[in-house]
Amino acid sequence: MASTAVSVDKHYDLIILGTGSGNSIPGPEFDDKSIAIIEKGTFGGTCLNVGCIPTKMYVYAADTALETRESSRLGINAQVNSVDWPGIVNRVFDQRIDLIAKGGEEYRRGDKTPNIEVYDQFARFVAERTLKTGQGSKEMTISADQIVLAAGSRPFIPEVIAESGVHFHTNEDIMRLARQPESIVIVGGGYIAMEFAHVFEALGTKVSIIARSELLRHLDTDLREPFNELSAQRYDVHCGKNITQVSQDSHGITVTLDDESAVNAEVLLVATGRVPNGDELDVERAGIEAEDGRIKVDEFGRSTSAEGIWALGDISSPYMLKHVANAEMRAVRHNLLNPQNMKKMPHEHVPAAVFTHPQIAYVGLTEEQAREAGHGIAVKVQKYADVAYGWAMEDKTGIAKLIADKKTGKLLGAHYMGPQASTLIQQMITVMAFDLDVREVATKQYWIHPALPEVTENALLGLDFS
């Protein structure tokens, strides 16, 4: 039960925990509200500082390096002579990311938002809608009528690694290495692991991957199987293996697997998923329900058990994606301002992309999921190699796969693997969001010839509804 016998130093209309998507809540509509923003880490949250944005800046460099290395297929004799790793770090962080984070914090602390106070210490609940933050003489207890939990998630570290005593990295520090390692072993087979595998290998590091299952196991089979085959050609891949021991000496890291084989590398990167941060906030003291650190919320983003508590992003969402956190933020902001006319959390047709190589993007159901759901389906797998721009790129592996309902013509799923996948899929997200009939989408608009979207046009035309 939540205790109420707590002395409060300051009361606010609204407290926001986390400065990722949560920091976007206060706008001019909140100028008449007293607001506290709490951020124990770097202003801007995971996406800005250690996630989506800096990783894609590295990926772009990796894409360029790999394209250069493989340009002989286009009749070009080119090579990557050297990689200025410290220069990349400087370009990404010193010249861009760190300045944005600093500017964001200065803005919130400045005179342009006088109704907002920033706390930069860890916070935890001590009673209903009441938090203790700061340390020692600076410790304060603050409360609010409404509290938004947007405190994100953290890397999950397997026990065998956490208790080994070896020095390991996660996405939170791997991009700031002082120098590029000659070799790296990556533990994990999800999107974080695959993006960093691409970055390091393309820039010249020998990459080994250890995963308990197939790489990107959540993908549709027609993408997953060829992706795993391509990855095995590029990396030293150990799938279906568990780690039994991890050790470190002057030569680097040794990871021993359950088949008694060993993988050696200079650096160890752990990319085995993320854990919601709800378990770090003592939420039970405020009567807030959580499971494995994930705050339980209703369809409007409200806590299922505690009045005045809201949550969004990784700490509560079923989707650990920045674009979803932003959309949830907009819903929660609306609901805070319009309690009599609330919006549901927007969880329909959620797309995702993996900025590895080949690039991958998807939305909706896989073929297996569509069949399990009882749909009669039309399916088309279209190769990039069969359209003119695919010829120009000499692409041999790219595919677009569309899945539609035979009765209604509605798109059930779209899956792309290849160049520009994250861009190409946007048209199919629109088709799903506006409930369009794919039997008309291909023929009622122009498709610029010979641009790459023709791979989508041909996939649509290839769906068999007979």
List the catalytic residues: 449
C-alpha to C-alpha distance for 402 and 427, rounded to whole angstroms? 12
Token reading at 81: 């002579």
> Are 140 and 18 in contact, with CB atoms under 8 Å apart?
no
Buried b (16+ CB within 10 A) or exposed e, 395-404: bebbbbbbbb
> Are 89 and 176 in contact, with CB atoms under 8 Å apart?
yes
DSSP state of 66: H
> Are 334 and 318 in contact, with CB atoms under 8 Å apart?
no
> Are 124 and 147 in contact, with CB atoms under 8 Å apart?
no
Contacting residues for 261 by C-beta, under 8 A, at least 6 apart: 238, 241
Question: For residue 149, is it left (φ>0), alpha (ψ between -120 and 50) or beta?
Answer: beta
C-alpha to C-alpha distance for 185 and 208, rounded to whole angstroms? 5
> Are 50 and 175 in contact, with CB atoms under 8 Å apart?
yes
393, containing H or E segment: helix 388-393
Question: For residue 75, is it left (φ>0), alpha (ψ between -120 and 50) or beta?
Answer: left
Token reading at 127: 């009673």
154, containing H or E segment: strand 153-155
- What residues does 274 pair with on adjacent strands? 155
Closest CA to 61 of 182, 199, 196, 244: 199
* Residue 205, phi then psi, degrees to nearest 5: -90, 140
